[in-house]
Amino acid sequence: MVNITYSVGKNYSRKDIYRILNIPREQQGGNWDTGYHRYENDWFIFANINTKGRTGHDYANRFIGNDLEWYGKNRSKLSQPSIQSFFNPAGKINIFVREDNNNPNFTYVGNGRIKEAYDTSPVKIIWRFDDPNENHPEILSEEVTHPERFVEGATKQINVNIFERNPIARKRCIEHFGTSCVVCNFNFFEKYGDLGKDFIHVHHLIPLNEIGEEYEIDPIKHLRPVCPNCHAMIHKRHPALTIQELREMLK
Protein backbone atom coordinates (compact mmCIF):
# COMPACT_ATOMS: atom_id res chain seq x y z
CA MET A 1 0.00 0.00 0.00
CA VAL A 2 1.52 3.24 -1.12
CA ASN A 3 0.42 6.40 0.57
CA ILE A 4 2.08 9.31 -1.13
CA THR A 5 0.98 12.90 -1.17
CA TYR A 6 1.70 15.05 -4.16
CA SER A 7 1.80 18.84 -3.77
CA VAL A 8 -0.98 20.79 -5.45
CA GLY A 9 0.51 23.17 -8.02
CA LYS A 10 3.83 21.32 -8.20
CA ASN A 11 5.17 19.93 -11.48
CA TYR A 12 5.87 16.24 -12.02
CA SER A 13 6.97 14.33 -15.12
CA ARG A 14 5.89 10.71 -15.62
CA LYS A 15 9.50 9.80 -14.82
CA ASP A 16 9.18 11.56 -11.46
CA ILE A 17 6.09 9.48 -10.70
CA TYR A 18 7.88 6.24 -11.67
CA ARG A 19 10.73 7.17 -9.35
CA ILE A 20 8.43 8.14 -6.47
CA LEU A 21 6.45 4.89 -6.78
CA ASN A 22 9.44 2.70 -7.65
CA ILE A 23 7.85 1.44 -10.84
CA PRO A 24 10.14 -1.13 -12.51
CA ARG A 25 11.20 -0.23 -16.03
CA GLU A 26 9.18 -3.01 -17.68
CA GLN A 27 5.97 -1.67 -16.11
CA GLN A 28 6.55 1.91 -17.27
CA GLY A 29 4.83 3.39 -20.33
CA GLY A 30 1.74 1.62 -21.67
CA ASN A 31 -1.35 2.85 -19.87
CA TRP A 32 0.67 5.45 -18.02
CA ASP A 33 1.09 7.21 -21.36
CA THR A 34 -2.45 7.00 -22.67
CA GLY A 35 -4.47 9.00 -20.21
CA TYR A 36 -5.26 7.10 -17.05
CA HIS A 37 -3.74 4.26 -15.14
CA ARG A 38 -4.45 2.50 -11.86
CA TYR A 39 -1.57 1.70 -9.59
CA GLU A 40 -2.49 -0.26 -6.46
CA ASN A 41 -5.53 1.63 -5.11
CA ASP A 42 -4.75 4.95 -6.72
CA TRP A 43 -5.63 6.30 -10.14
CA PHE A 44 -3.26 8.52 -12.08
CA ILE A 45 -4.81 10.75 -14.70
CA PHE A 46 -2.54 12.70 -17.03
CA ALA A 47 -4.52 15.22 -19.06
CA ASN A 48 -3.71 17.82 -21.67
CA ILE A 49 -5.83 20.91 -21.18
CA ASN A 50 -6.86 23.82 -23.40
CA THR A 51 -5.93 21.96 -26.59
CA LYS A 52 -9.26 22.41 -28.38
CA GLY A 53 -8.70 22.76 -32.13
CA ARG A 54 -5.05 21.77 -31.88
CA THR A 55 -5.52 18.02 -31.47
CA GLY A 56 -8.12 17.36 -34.16
CA HIS A 57 -11.20 16.92 -31.99
CA ASP A 58 -13.68 19.55 -31.00
CA TYR A 59 -13.69 18.91 -27.27
CA ALA A 60 -10.94 19.62 -24.82
CA ASN A 61 -10.22 19.20 -21.18
CA ARG A 62 -10.42 22.56 -19.43
CA PHE A 63 -10.95 24.18 -16.08
CA ILE A 64 -14.28 25.82 -15.40
CA GLY A 65 -13.56 27.70 -12.23
CA ASN A 66 -11.72 25.16 -10.10
CA ASP A 67 -13.60 22.18 -11.56
CA LEU A 68 -11.98 20.22 -14.36
CA GLU A 69 -14.08 19.27 -17.38
CA TRP A 70 -12.43 16.08 -18.60
CA TYR A 71 -12.99 13.51 -21.37
CA GLY A 72 -12.08 9.81 -21.17
CA LYS A 73 -10.35 7.84 -23.89
CA ASN A 74 -11.87 7.89 -27.38
CA ARG A 75 -14.39 5.06 -27.09
CA SER A 76 -14.82 5.21 -23.33
CA LYS A 77 -18.25 4.57 -21.81
CA LEU A 78 -19.72 5.30 -18.45
CA SER A 79 -20.38 1.58 -17.88
CA GLN A 80 -16.72 0.56 -18.16
CA PRO A 81 -15.25 -0.81 -14.91
CA SER A 82 -12.40 1.71 -14.95
CA ILE A 83 -14.81 4.63 -15.25
CA GLN A 84 -17.17 3.09 -12.68
CA SER A 85 -14.35 2.78 -10.19
CA PHE A 86 -13.95 6.58 -10.29
CA PHE A 87 -17.29 6.83 -8.50
CA ASN A 88 -16.17 4.86 -5.46
CA PRO A 89 -12.42 5.03 -5.50
CA ALA A 90 -10.51 2.79 -3.10
CA GLY A 91 -7.70 5.33 -3.05
CA LYS A 92 -6.90 8.69 -4.54
CA ILE A 93 -7.54 9.91 -8.06
CA ASN A 94 -4.39 11.89 -8.68
CA ILE A 95 -4.91 14.32 -11.53
CA PHE A 96 -2.04 15.96 -13.42
CA VAL A 97 -2.49 18.47 -16.25
CA ARG A 98 -0.34 20.28 -18.79
CA GLU A 99 -1.12 22.84 -21.49
CA ASP A 100 1.69 21.91 -23.87
CA ASN A 101 1.83 18.35 -25.27
CA ASN A 102 5.57 18.61 -25.68
CA ASN A 103 6.26 19.54 -22.07
CA PRO A 104 7.25 16.46 -20.04
CA ASN A 105 6.04 18.17 -16.86
CA PHE A 106 2.46 18.02 -15.63
CA THR A 107 1.07 20.13 -12.79
CA TYR A 108 -0.59 18.18 -10.00
CA VAL A 109 -4.06 19.71 -9.53
CA GLY A 110 -5.32 17.43 -6.78
CA ASN A 111 -7.18 14.35 -5.68
CA GLY A 112 -10.30 14.54 -7.84
CA ARG A 113 -13.82 13.41 -7.03
CA ILE A 114 -16.65 13.17 -9.53
CA LYS A 115 -18.95 16.17 -9.43
CA GLU A 116 -20.89 15.33 -12.60
CA ALA A 117 -20.60 12.47 -15.09
CA TYR A 118 -22.17 12.27 -18.54
CA ASP A 119 -23.15 9.05 -20.32
CA THR A 120 -21.46 10.08 -23.56
CA SER A 121 -18.66 8.57 -25.60
CA PRO A 122 -16.06 9.61 -24.77
CA VAL A 123 -17.25 9.88 -21.20
CA LYS A 124 -17.32 13.44 -19.88
CA ILE A 125 -16.61 13.99 -16.19
CA ILE A 126 -16.51 17.15 -14.13
CA TRP A 127 -13.95 16.71 -11.37
CA ARG A 128 -14.02 18.69 -8.15
CA PHE A 129 -11.03 19.11 -5.88
CA ASP A 130 -11.88 19.39 -2.22
CA ASP A 131 -9.71 16.85 -0.42
CA PRO A 132 -9.35 18.46 3.03
CA ASN A 133 -5.82 17.04 3.29
CA GLU A 134 -4.74 19.10 0.32
CA ASN A 135 -3.95 22.78 0.15
CA HIS A 136 -6.16 24.41 -2.50
CA PRO A 137 -5.60 28.18 -2.35
CA GLU A 138 -7.91 28.79 -5.32
CA ILE A 139 -10.96 27.62 -3.36
CA LEU A 140 -10.70 30.41 -0.79
CA SER A 141 -11.16 33.21 -3.26
CA GLU A 142 -14.85 32.34 -3.36
CA GLU A 143 -15.13 34.18 -0.06
CA VAL A 144 -15.06 37.41 -1.99
CA THR A 145 -18.52 38.09 -3.24
CA HIS A 146 -19.00 38.60 -6.94
CA PRO A 147 -22.55 39.69 -7.52
CA GLU A 148 -21.85 40.49 -11.15
CA ARG A 149 -22.96 37.71 -13.42
CA PHE A 150 -22.93 37.05 -17.07
CA VAL A 151 -24.89 34.68 -19.20
CA GLU A 152 -23.15 31.85 -20.98
CA GLY A 153 -25.23 30.58 -23.87
CA ALA A 154 -28.90 31.24 -23.33
CA THR A 155 -29.60 29.58 -20.01
CA LYS A 156 -26.53 29.07 -17.95
CA GLN A 157 -25.49 31.73 -15.48
CA ILE A 158 -21.94 31.49 -14.31
CA ASN A 159 -20.42 33.53 -11.58
CA VAL A 160 -17.58 35.66 -12.91
CA ASN A 161 -15.16 34.43 -10.33
CA ILE A 162 -14.73 31.20 -12.31
CA PHE A 163 -11.86 33.08 -13.91
CA GLU A 164 -10.34 33.78 -10.51
CA ARG A 165 -10.62 30.16 -9.39
CA ASN A 166 -8.99 28.48 -12.38
CA PRO A 167 -5.94 26.88 -10.68
CA ILE A 168 -3.73 26.74 -13.77
CA ALA A 169 -4.43 30.34 -14.79
CA ARG A 170 -3.88 31.33 -11.15
CA LYS A 171 -0.54 29.52 -11.02
CA ARG A 172 0.68 31.23 -14.19
CA CYS A 173 -0.41 34.63 -12.85
CA ILE A 174 1.49 34.09 -9.61
CA GLU A 175 4.58 32.74 -11.37
CA HIS A 176 4.66 35.97 -13.35
CA PHE A 177 3.62 38.60 -10.77
CA GLY A 178 4.61 36.93 -7.51
CA THR A 179 2.43 36.53 -4.42
CA SER A 180 2.41 40.13 -3.13
CA CYS A 181 -0.73 42.23 -3.53
CA VAL A 182 -0.31 44.51 -6.56
CA VAL A 183 -2.35 47.21 -4.80
CA CYS A 184 -0.90 47.41 -1.26
CA ASN A 185 2.11 45.08 -1.57
CA PHE A 186 0.96 42.87 1.31
CA ASN A 187 2.67 39.49 1.34
CA PHE A 188 1.27 36.64 3.43
CA PHE A 189 4.56 34.80 3.71
CA GLU A 190 6.35 37.87 5.08
CA LYS A 191 3.61 38.43 7.65
CA TYR A 192 2.56 34.89 8.61
CA GLY A 193 5.58 32.77 7.66
CA ASP A 194 5.00 29.28 6.27
CA LEU A 195 1.26 29.41 6.94
CA GLY A 196 0.94 32.22 4.41
CA LYS A 197 3.27 30.77 1.81
CA ASP A 198 1.80 31.13 -1.72
CA PHE A 199 -1.50 32.46 -0.36
CA ILE A 200 -3.03 35.28 -2.41
CA HIS A 201 -6.24 35.93 -4.29
CA VAL A 202 -6.22 36.64 -8.00
CA HIS A 203 -8.43 39.30 -9.52
CA HIS A 204 -9.76 39.15 -13.06
CA LEU A 205 -9.38 42.52 -14.77
CA ILE A 206 -11.64 42.32 -17.81
CA PRO A 207 -15.10 43.90 -17.48
CA LEU A 208 -17.84 41.36 -18.02
CA ASN A 209 -19.51 43.19 -20.87
CA GLU A 210 -16.29 42.75 -22.88
CA ILE A 211 -16.33 38.98 -22.53
CA GLY A 212 -17.71 37.01 -25.46
CA GLU A 213 -18.35 33.30 -25.73
CA GLU A 214 -14.97 32.65 -27.32
CA TYR A 215 -13.14 34.40 -24.50
CA GLU A 216 -9.94 32.71 -23.46
CA ILE A 217 -8.20 33.79 -20.34
CA ASP A 218 -4.64 35.09 -20.60
CA PRO A 219 -3.30 34.83 -17.04
CA ILE A 220 -0.71 37.57 -17.52
CA LYS A 221 -2.91 40.05 -19.33
CA HIS A 222 -6.11 39.40 -17.39
CA LEU A 223 -5.21 38.39 -13.83
CA ARG A 224 -3.43 40.17 -10.97
CA PRO A 225 -2.55 38.94 -7.47
CA VAL A 226 -4.40 40.93 -4.80
CA CYS A 227 -4.79 40.45 -1.04
CA PRO A 228 -8.31 39.59 0.19
CA ASN A 229 -8.78 43.08 1.69
CA CYS A 230 -7.95 44.89 -1.54
CA HIS A 231 -9.92 42.29 -3.47
CA ALA A 232 -13.02 42.98 -1.40
CA MET A 233 -12.57 46.75 -1.92
CA ILE A 234 -12.13 46.31 -5.69
CA HIS A 235 -15.47 44.51 -5.87
CA LYS A 236 -17.25 46.86 -3.50
CA ARG A 237 -18.11 49.11 -6.42
CA HIS A 238 -19.99 47.99 -9.51
CA PRO A 239 -18.47 48.05 -11.97
CA ALA A 240 -15.36 47.00 -10.08
CA LEU A 241 -12.62 49.51 -9.33
CA THR A 242 -9.46 49.29 -11.38
CA ILE A 243 -6.17 48.43 -9.66
CA GLN A 244 -4.99 52.00 -10.34
CA GLU A 245 -8.11 53.57 -8.82
CA LEU A 246 -7.72 51.56 -5.63
CA ARG A 247 -4.00 52.36 -5.41
CA GLU A 248 -4.80 56.06 -5.53
CA MET A 249 -7.41 55.72 -2.79
CA LEU A 250 -4.85 53.95 -0.62
CA LYS A 251 -2.62 57.03 -0.58
Residue ranges binding Zn ion (CB under 5 A): 181, 183-184, 186, 203, 227, 230
- Which of 15, 221 has the CB closer to Zn ion? 221
| Minimum distance from residue 144 beta carbon to Zn ion (Å) | 6
- d(Cα 251, Cα 247) in Å, to the nearest integer? 7
| Minimum distance from residue 64 beta carbon to Zn ion (Å) | 17
| 194-221: burial string, b at 16+ Cβ within 10 Å, e else | eeeeebbbbbbeeeeeebeeeeebebee
| Minimum distance from residue 164 beta carbon to Zn ion (Å) | 5
Cα dihedral: 187, 160, 64, 229 (round 10): 20
- d(Cα 80, Cα 89) in Å, to the nearest integer? 14
How many angstroms separate the first and last alpha carbons of the chain?
Answer: 57
| Minimum distance from residue 145 beta carbon to Zn ion (Å) | 10
| Minimum distance from residue 141 beta carbon to Zn ion (Å) | 8
Q: Which amino acid, one-letter code, is at 116?
A: E
- d(Cα 39, Cα 71) in Å, to the nearest integer? 20
- Which of 20, 249 has the CB closer to Zn ion? 249
- Which of 14, 201 has the CB closer to Zn ion? 201
